[in-house]
Structure formats: structure tokens, C-alpha cells
Amino acid sequence: LGLGYPGGPAIEALAQEGDETAYPFTRPKLAHKLDFSFSGIKTAVVNLLHTAQQKGEQVNKADVAASFQHSVTAFLLSNAIEACRQYGCTALSLCGGVCANGYIRAKATQLGQQNGITVYLPELQYCTDNAAMIGCAAHLRYQNGDFADLTLNAQPNLQLFT
């Protein structure tokens, strides 16, 4: 969409001018109900824009942004609410840069109320990219002499629940 980086605030601002039902981006089909992957939705946006360009058609960028934001939010929050149900949680806390999005905050609060789940949202000044949290965690490990060698790698399938 040519919105630059970081995209989140730009998408939120543009989405306010658009129709969130204009483009029905679908949920990805994943092996486990609570898994997350936004690559399918992002690919759908790229394909939509590319196809329109190839056909010489114009797309309403505000509608694309609104539809994308709506789809991602619905997917994110339906998984979070379902996880609360499955694990008997009565509270949900959102954090990180994504929690600065007003649309996500409003929808989380609404869904929480509808499902008897208390939603905790930090003040906006604390809703920053989690890179700061990772940096702080690394600093604390460094102070404690907890070092890793160069074979350390990401673990994308690390289980959160046991």
C-alpha cells in the first residue's frame, strides 16, 4: 500500500476512512485451532494489489487497510478468546505495539465483555514494540552472566502451554 514503516499506525489511520467489509480476507487454515499465521492474509493483500495493477484497475487503499485490519483483528482476538475458554482464563491482557491499535483495543474490550473475560490494556505509552522487552531481557541475562554461543537459534514451535 506504500504506507512505509512502521505500517501499523498508518494502516489504522487509513482504515478509519475505509469499509472493513470491502475485501473478505479469510482466516488461514492451520493444523491447530489456536495457531497463528498472518502470512496468508498478507499474501492475499499482495495478490489483490498485484492483480488490480495487472488489470489496470484502481483499488481503494482505505478499504484494503480497513479489511486487512478487520481480518487480522478478528483472527487474533477469536484465537485469544478461544484460548481463554480452553484454559479456563477469565482475564486477557494485550501488550506490545499491536496493543496501541485503537481498533484492536475496542474489539478486545467488546469481545471480552461478550464472553465474560476481563480485558486488561496497558496505557498507550507502554504499548511499544516488544523489541524493548527482548532487549531488557537480554540485558538482565547479560548481567547474570547467562550467555549463548553462536549456535543459538529461534524456536518458532516452542510450546507456550504444557
| Helical residues (DSSP H) of 35-157, grouped into ranges | 39-55, 61-87, 102-114, 131-143
CA 67 from chain centre, in angstroms, equals 14
The pLDDT assigned to 138 comes to 81
13 Cβ contact list (under 8 Å, min separation 6): none
Q: pTM for the whole thing?
A: 0.78
Pick from 49, 53, 111: which is nearest to 77 by CA? Answer: 111
**Is 6 exposed, middle or buried, given 0-12, 13-18 or 19+ CB atoms closer than 10 A?**
exposed
The pLDDT assigned to 162 comes to 47
The C-alpha cell that represents 141 in the structure block:
541475562
Mean pLDDT by 10 residues, the chain (162 residues): 87 96 84 78 92 95 96 93 94 90 97 97 85 78 86 71 50
The pLDDT assigned to 119 comes to 97
How far is CA 108 from each of CA 32, 37, 97, 147, 150, rounded to the nearest angstrom?
22, 19, 15, 38, 40
Helix/strand/coil percent split, the chain, to 5: 55, 5, 45
